[in-house]
Structure 1
C-alpha cells in the first residue's frame, strides 16, 4: 500500500511526533517525560482525556522554532515514506509561543522553511491549518484566530478547532471562526467523535465549516447524513484513531463504509499516528482487509480529499497530475 499516492487532511503536527524524537528532545533539555511512555518506549495513556494529558506533556519539550523545524521535517519524512504526497497539518499557536503573534510568526517561519525543504527533498506538499484548542476556552480561541488571520496566505490556508469535544459548544467559538472566515481561511472542526451526531450538526450550523474532523457519529442520524451528502460536507475520517480510542470496538464495526454508501464525502487520515500505532499504509491495509476495498475505492477517497483540500487551484491541479498515473482521470 505504500506505493499508492495519498492525500492526508487530518494530521496533528505535534501528535505525529515519533516518541523517539520527543525522548531525544527531552534528553537534550533535561526534561523528565518518563511518565508518558510505556516499557517499549511508546506513548502510554488510559483513555481520551489521558491521551490529551500525554499529548500536552510531550509538547512541553517543543520550546523553540528550531524544535518545530526539526519536528516538521521528521513528520513529513515519515509521511512521505508512506506514499503521502500532500498533507494538511493542524498547527497550534498554543504550543508555539503561547498564542503571542510575534512568537507565532517565528515558529511559523521555521515550519514553513521545513515544509519547503521537505518538498524539495521528498516531493511532499504541506499546508497548515491553524487550530484552536477547545478545552482552552473561547477567549484563547480568539487569540489563536488572530494568529491565523494575520498569517493567512499560501501556507496557512485553514482554521479549525480540536481538543476535548465535550467542553463547551461550537457556538461558543463562532467569533473565532468569523475572524478566520473574514481572513478567507477555509474552515474545519472536530465533531462527531465523542459528542454524537448533534455535535456535527451544531458545528456545520454554528461555525459554517465545509469539513468535519472525524464526524463518524453522524451515522446515528439518517437525516443528518442526507444533509451532509447534499451540502458536500467532507468528513476527515481517522478509523485507526477511532478504534484505538474505543469509539468503535474494531475495524469491522467502524461506519466508514456506511458513510460512503450514504453519499457523504469521506477521506482517510491518521490523526496522531504514533499515539495510535498506525500509518497511512496501515489504514489502507485495514480498510482493504475489513471492507474489501480495492483500487477504485482508494481512488474515490483520494479524489474526495483532493476536492476538499484547503489549497489553491494550481496546487490542486498539480496534485491531480501526480495522481492520474495511478488512479486515472477519476471524476
Structure 2
C-alpha cells in the first residue's frame, strides 16, 4: 500500500526484531530459554505469558548503546513499511530503572539514533508500567516531566490493565500534564468499557491506547465521537492475544462508522507476527477498506500526533492524494 502511514502506538522494546534480541543475548551470554519458538519467532500464548516473554527479552537491553541500536533497527523496519512518522512508548523502568540521570543517557542515545533515521520522524511517549504500581509510576512521570521537549512529547501507561484502576495513577498524569506533556493510556483492551470511562474521566487523556471494548457501551461510543477522543487501535495484537477471536469480530469498523476517531498501529509487531502494511491489508480484506478510508485514518493519526504544528503540517501534506 503506497499511502504514507502514521503510527501512534508502538512499544520500542516490543518492536525489537527477534534476531536483534537473540544477537544481543549471544553477545552478553544471557540465556533466553522460553522466549522463542522453534522457528525463532517470539513465543506468545496469552497475554500474561506475553508480558513474561516481553520482560525477559528486555533483560538483554542493559545500556544506552543497546537502546540506540534498537531505535535504529525499529525505525528501519518501520520505514520499510512506509511509515513516515511514529510515536514510540519509552519506559524509564526499562531505561535505567527510573533513575533520572541514567534515563537522560538512554534518552540521548535514542534521540541521536532517531535524528539519523531517513524518511521517518519519531517522537517519544514516556510510559509508566501499570503493574509496577502507582508509586513507581510517579518516578516515570518525574523522568518525563524533566525531559519534556522536542522529542519527548507525551506521557502514558502500559502494562497489565487488570491491576488497580486508572484513577490510581492520577497523580502521575497530573504531573505530566502540568509539565506540558500530552496524555494517553492503555484502556479497553482487557478492562472493558468501564476502564475507558476511567481513562477519560479520571486521567483526562486525549487518546486511548486500544480502547476497543468501548464498543460494548453505546453511551461511551457517543462520548468518544462527540469529544474527538482518538483510539490507538491495534487489531492484529487484539486478535493474536484473544481479545477478539478473529478479524471479523473486531470492532474497529463499527467504531469508525459510529464517528469515533480511530487510528491503526501494530503495538509490538514481531511479537504478533505483523507489520503496519499487514494490518491495512487485513482491514481491506475483512472490512473492504479502500484507499480513501486508509488515507482518512492516517490523516486522523497525523492530527492526533503528539508533535509540533510544523511537523504535523508536513505529515498532512505528505498524506494529500496525488493530483
TM-score, normalized by the shorter chain, greater than 0.5: yes
CA distance in structure 2 between the aligned counterparts of 1:325 and 1:295, rounded to whole angstroms: 10
Gaps of 5+ in 2: none
TM-score with structure 1 length normalisation?
0.97
Say if 2:261 is the partner of 1:265.
yes
Which range is displaced more, 45-54 or 160-169? 45-54
CA distance in structure 1 between the aligned counterparts of 2:45 and 2:223, rounded to whole angstroms: 35
Residue 163 of structure 1 corresponds to which residue in structure 2?
159
Say if 2:143 is the partner of 1:147.
yes
Residue 175 of structure 1 corresponds to which residue in structure 2?
171
Say if 2:21 is the partner of 1:22.
yes
Residue 59 of structure 2 corresponds to which residue in structure 1?
60
4+ runs of 1 displaced by more than 6 Å? none
CA distance in structure 2 between the aligned counterparts of 1:99 and 1:208, rounded to whole angstroms: 24
Cα distance per residue 1:29-78 (max 9 Å; x no partner): 00010221010001113210110000000000001100000000000000
1:229 pairs with 200, 211, 225, which one? 225
Say if 2:100 is the partner of 1:104.
no
CA distance in structure 1 between the aligned counterparts of 2:280 and 2:140, rounded to whole angstroms: 34
Which range is displaced more, 124-133 or 316-325? 316-325
SS at match of 1:36: coil
- How much has 1:319 moved relative to structure 2? 1.1
Cα distance per residue 1:189-222 (max 9 Å; x no partner): 0000000000000011000100000000000000
Residue 290 of structure 1 corresponds to which residue in structure 2?
286
SS at match of 1:95: coil
- How much has 1:147 moved relative to structure 2? 0.2
SS at match of 1:93: coil
TM-score with structure 2 length normalisation?
0.99
Say if 2:309 is the partner of 1:310.
no
Gaps of 5+ in 1: none
SS at match of 1:17: coil
CA distance in structure 1 between the aligned counterparts of 2:13 and 2:6, rounded to whole angstroms: 19
Residue 93 of structure 1 corresponds to which residue in structure 2?
92
Q: Which has the higher helix share?
A: 1
Say if 2:193 is the partner of 1:219.
no
Which range is displaced more, 124-133 or 44-53? 44-53
